[in-house]
Amino acid sequence: MVEAGSPILRSFGWLRQMGLTDKDLAQLNSCVPGEFLQPDSVYVNTGAPRMTFGGSDEATLPFVAGRWYFIPAEIADAFPALGQNMRSVAEAPRLIGE
Please check whether residue 83 is in contact with residue 55, taking contact to mean a CB–CB distance below 8 angstroms. no
Q: pLDDT per residue over 66-80, tens digit each?
A: 999 999 989 999 998
Domain residue spans in the chain?
A: 7-96
Look up the pTM and report it. Answer: 0.87
For residue 35, CA distances in Å to 11, 15, 65, 68 come to 22, 23, 15, 10
Give 96's pLDDT tier (boundaries 50, 70, 90): confident
- For residues 24 and 86, give the distance between their C-alpha atoms in angstroms, rounded to a whole number: 19
Q: pLDDT per residue over 4-52, tens digit each?
A: 666 666 778 889 888 999 889 889 999 999 999 988 889 999 988 889 9
